[in-house]
Amino acid sequence: MSSHDLVLAIDQGTTGSTALVVDGEARVRAKHNVEFPQHFPQPGWVEHDPQELWRSVLDAIAGALAQPGIDAGRIAAIGITNQRETSLLWRRADGTPLHRAIVWQDRRTADRCAELRQGGHAPRIAELTGLVPDPYFSGTKLAWTLDHVDGARAAAARGELAAGTIDTYLLWRMTGGRSHATEPSNASRTMLWPLRGGGWSEELCALLRVPASVLPTVLPCTAVFGTTAGVPGLRDGIPIHGIAGDQQAALFGQTCFREAQAKCTYGTGAFMVLNTGERIVPSHHGLLTSVAWQIGERTTWCLEGSAFMAGAVVQWLRDGLGLIARAADIEPLARSVPDSGGVVLVPGHAGLGAPHWRPEARGLIRGITRGTTKAHLCRAALEGIALQIAELADAMAADLGRGLDVLRVDGGAAANDLLMQIQCDLLGVALDRPHVLEATGLGAAALAGLGVGLWPDLDALSRSWQRERRFEPGGDATAIAALRQAFRDAINCA
């Protein structure tokens, strides 16, 4: 056995950073998660302090490496996956951030996106990028920072600034500032990178007022992005050999390597992604077309639907309303009532993503009576999460001309059996839940392991996937239809 037979995966998420140590049989040998603060300077704004984020990554790595049986000297490669559209700029000379990172949930550029739509640019943006003008994506965030930090545009013109999504920032930090790069799954979420032809688009950079000089080099997902330098707890020279955005990494971690295979990840938001193989499939029903991954010269594409609030709804019930003490408390409380008692909760707290794309929307609770209890609100919250995914599945079926046969699920909230059964009933298709719910980090590990030769091919990875439970659809069809109609009515008011 090689002395270098482990992969370290860094899963940098919206509310925390997780480090996984994975062996050559795709088993998670160690895991450690560290949460970090969220900053809300004003309504609709969401920011991360890059230093706090970086510290959470270092602490997650240290926690994973400290677990019994883990030898950091055996790490063959590092994989990175990240919250995709969150972006920032920093000074090349010393790595100092110009501003807090602007998070994917942030809505501050809604007016600019409205201008792009009103100016007739939406069809061209969709044609080039597969995206819609929405503050979700990185391009308008970078432009906002350049416009609102004194001297930023002049510094960019002098070549002093670097920009990127969080994978690029972590790569910069982990390589001691030697590597400024990303890969296509993250690049394809910026509104600056065309799906055909590759390379940053001069047309889009001019339209969004983001100079291409600040943007990173785009490499295939299993490229050698650089090697470690000065990272506490890790030897210098470990190759960073796999990077992908979190949802594409989860698709890879779920081994959805074949066309028409799909997964849904229930994290801070919920994201349904369908592998479309080597076909670029434009969406006519509010979904996004993106790169799933690029291995060597071969690119795999996907369709995606994004719901901005999923686990974040549970977090809000816990921290904002105080209805539960722990996130895990929501399931028994929601189970204590047979239904939501007519209450409908629309998780529009950060606007509505696919298929509506309404950044101005806000969360809504409808149907409260004197008989409403916190149990009803908790059940309505779970239903609201699942109803968003049902809408995404409808849009996906309309784009494809057929429905799904089965959906693989992962992410922290996928451990909630009640949520998964509600989801299964609403979709009318089976849900497969794997033993390892950290599919995002597992996908980063798999890409890095492929790059370094720990796994020979995709077939070997496919054999490592194991189902823990299958959920079969049931429920009363009339009640399900009424619930879906009530949600559609409420969405119009959000």
**Residue in the structure block whose two tokens are 């698709």:** 251
Domains in the chain: ranges and CATH: 6-245 (3.30.420.40)
Q: Is residue 343 within 8 Å of residue 298, measured between CB atoms? A: no
pLDDT of residue 237: 95
Question: What pLDDT sits at residue 2?
Answer: 52
- Give residue 353's pLDDT: 85
Q: How many residues does the chain have?
A: 494
3-state secondary structure the chain: CCCCCEEEEEEECCCEEEEEEEECCCCEEEEEEEECCCECCCCCCCEECHHHHHHHHHHHHHHHHCCCCCCHHHEEEEEEEECCCCEEEEECCCCCECCCEECCCCCCCHHHHHHHHHCCCHHHHHHHHCCCCCCCCHHHHHHHHHHHCCCHHHHHHCCCEEEEEHHHHHHHHHCCCCCCEECHHHHCCCCCCCCCCCCCCHHHHHHHCCCHHHCCEECCCCCCCEECCCCCCCCCCCEEEEEEEHHHHHHHHCCCCCCCCEEEEECCCEEEEEEEECCCCCCCCCCEEEEEEEECCEEEEEEEEEECCCHHHHHHHHHCCCCCCCHHHHHHHHHCCCCCCCCEEECCECEECCCCCECCCCCEEECCCCCCCHHHHHHHHHHHHHHHHHHHHHHHHHHHCCCCCEEEEECHHHHCHHHHHHHHHHHCCEEEEECCCCHHHHHHHHHHHHHHCCCCCHHHHHCCCCEEEEECCCCCHHHHHHHHHHHHHHHCCC
d(CA 300, CA 303): 11
Q: What is the pLDDT of residue 473?
A: 92
Q: What's the 3-state SS for 81-105? A: EECCCCEEEEECCCCCECCCEECCC
Cα separation, 405 vs 31, whole angstroms? 32
Comparing C-alpha atoms, which of 422, 429, 420 is closest to residue 383?
Answer: 422
pLDDT of residue 31: 94
Q: Give average pLDDT by consecutive 10-residue segment, the chain, 494 residues.
A: 82 94 89 94 94 97 93 93 95 94 93 94 92 92 96 95 97 96 95 89 96 96 94 94 94 92 91 91 90 92 91 91 92 94 92 86 92 94 95 90 87 92 94 90 92 85 89 90 92 82
Strand order through the sheet with 87-91? 47-48, 101-102, 87-91, 161-165
- Fill in the amino acid letter for 277: G
**Cα→Cα distances 64→22, 68, 71, 101, 175, Å:** 11, 9, 10, 26, 20
Q: How many CB atoms lie within 10 A of CB 412?
A: 21
Residue 197's CB is within 10 A of a number of other CB atoms, namely 8
- Asked whether 411 and 398 are in contact (CB, 8 A), the reply is no
* Global confidence as pTM: 0.89
Looking from the CA of 435 toward its CB, the CA atoms found within 13 Å total 7
* Residue 142, pLDDT score: 97
Radius of gyration (Cα) for the chain, nearest Å? 21
